[in-house]
């Protein structure tokens, strides 16, 4: 068995490869267990943890005097530290606000809160740009705009500018289901055919309307609740 856990100068090339794989697996597992949020949804607390994990991961691969054990120990310590603080945050609202931050009103009842903009180094141009990204091109339509702890904006418009919904019109609307994938990269999903209440013969007949003669020629095919077939050829 090649030397893996010693200093970098004492291990062979194969040991270095195994060491790299082990570090990658451990960091992957820790990252998978710690958070499932994307970078755009991370709080400062999450970002700090990921940044430290990245620094610790590189150390045993580049620095000769850092042993494998001295790297894994702080990584696991950080994992348990993050888990413990997350559990405490679930129990204590004030503790959660301290680590994750509080939501902050940028627009309050139609009025821009300038001191909150300055607090987060935002000017009016940046605020308008963020609103446009969220398809709000007229700031006068916004009643409340809140900066969430993860950096995202939550927007509430005045009721006169909200789009009309089916409930407003008192209209009955059928529930919409997610289309089922029946062919993926030339492979047939028979279970999804049964769920969609169609059979293989129905599928082949409808594929012909898309000028497709065989299932293997289909990159993606889906069936919606109205038995409408979507086909993307290879």
Question: Coil, helix or strand for 226?
Answer: coil
Mean pLDDT estimate for the chain: 78
The rounded Cα 160 to chain-centroid distance in angstroms is 32
pLDDT, position 79: 75
Most confident of 83-87, 141-145, 163-167: 141-145
pLDDT (mean) for 189-202: 91
Residue 86 vs residue 126, higher pLDDT: 126
| Predicted pLDDT at 39 | 46
Query: What would the mean pLDDT of 89-103 be, rounded to a whole number?
Result: 76
Spell out the alpha helix ranges (H) of the chain.
13-34, 44-62, 68-91, 93-100, 114-119, 124-133, 190-195, 200-208
Per-residue confidence (pLDDT) for residue 144, from 0 to 100: 93
Of 43-47, 96-100, 161-165, 179-183, the poorest mean pLDDT is in: 43-47
Percent of the chain at pLDDT above 70? 72
Are 178 and 159 in contact by the 8 Å Cβ rule? The answer is no
The residue among 223, 232, 220 whose CA lies nearest residue 193 is 223
Tens-digit pLDDT profile for residues 16-26: 677 667 767 77
Range in 126-140, 147-161, 162-176 the model is least confident about: 162-176
Kindly report which listed range (76-80, 101-105, 124-128, 194-198) carries the lowest average pLDDT score: 76-80
Question: What single-letter DSSP state applies at residue 171?
Answer: -
- Overall pTM surpassing 0.75 (yes/no): no
């Amino acid at each position: 068995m090649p030397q893996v856990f010693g200093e970098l100068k004492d291990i062979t090339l194969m040991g270095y490869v195994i060491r790299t794989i082990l570090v990658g697996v451990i960091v992957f597992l820790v990252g998978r267990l710690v958070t499932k949020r994307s970078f755009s949804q991370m709080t400062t607390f999450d970002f700090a943890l990921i940044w430290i994990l990245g620094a610790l991961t590189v150390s045993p691969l580049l620095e000769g005097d850092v042993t494998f054990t001295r790297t894994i120990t702080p990584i696991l310590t950080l994992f348990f530290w993050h888990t413990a603080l997350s559990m405490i945050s679930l129990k204590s609202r004030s503790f959660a606000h301290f680590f994750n931050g509080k939501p902050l009103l940028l627009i309050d009842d139609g009025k821009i809160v300038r001191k909150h903009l300055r607090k987060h180094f935002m000017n009016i141009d940046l605020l308008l740009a963020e609103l446009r990204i969220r398809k709000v091109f007229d700031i006068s339509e916004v009643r409340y705009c809140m900066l969430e702890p993860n950096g995202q904006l939550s927007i509430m418009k005045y009721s006169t500018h909200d789009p009309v919904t089916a409930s407003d019109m008192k209209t009955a609307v059928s529930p919409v289901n997610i289309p089922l994938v029946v062919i993926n990269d030339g492979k047939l999903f028979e279970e999804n055919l049964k769920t969609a209440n169609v059979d293989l013969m129905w599928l082949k007949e409808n594929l012909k309307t898309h000028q497709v003669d065989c299932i293997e020629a289909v990159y993606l095919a889906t069936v919606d609740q109205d038995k409408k077939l979507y086909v993307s050829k290879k």
